[in-house]
Amino acid sequence: STAQEAGGAEAGKMIVYLLLMTLFMAASAFATDIVAGEKERGTLETLMLAPVDRRVIARSKLFVVSAGSALTGVLSLMSLSVSYRMGWLSVDGVDAVTLEGPTLLAVALLAVPLAVLLGAILLAVSAWARSLKEAQYYVMPVMLLVFVPALLSMTQSVELSSFVAILPVANVAFVMRDVLAQRIDWSMLGLVIGSTLV
């Protein structure tokens, strides 16, 4: 492999993990406050009295959570790539390489459907909860849904297969890792994006 591919594979170990955790933290902060927090403050009832279709309100809340999470993820990706380039995240003995613009753009585009998926799941959890504190308790199992694939993406021993490509969250984590390592399988990429959007 070239130095760029080896450096990208090394960067993928840390960057994917930290990016997924950032996306999750941002989505959980937005989602728990935007529904459960509004229930607790009594502002959700006022909003429901407005002459607006509830589906429009739900879609708007999903858009806010997803957009906020995606923006946080993109800014985090930029910060992580600069940190990696400066050698702050690199492993001893491995030279830091500059992650190319198209690679970072592909990873950023992969973060968008994942932000929508996490936003939808966390909004459902937040709507189920009766208070902000209860919503924070319910978020913990969802964190495992993100934490385990993020940890597994740090290893190169798990390959992206057609089965992994349809697993939520894990599919995006593994394809991000492969994109950073300059190993792109376009059919798998299409399957990952399609299954995440579904």
Tokens of 1: 């492999």
Q: Of the given ranges (43-52, 88-97, 149-158), which has the lowest mean pLDDT?
A: 88-97
Q: pLDDT at position 68, please?
A: 94
Separation of alpha carbons 172 and 106, rounded Å: 11
At a CB cut-off of 8 Å and minimum separation 6, what does 124 contact? none
- Give the Cα separation of 143 and 107 in Å (integer): 21
pLDDT band for 54, please (50, 70, 90 cuts).
confident
Compute the distance between CA of residue 195 and CA of residue 193 in angstroms, rounded to an integer.
Answer: 6
Q: How far is CA 62 from CA 8, 30, 95, 119, in A?
A: 33, 10, 41, 6
pLDDT tops 80 at residue 15: yes
The CA distance from 193 to 28, in Å, is: 22
Q: What was the pLDDT predicted at 7?
A: 63
Neighbours of 58 (CB within 10 A): 14
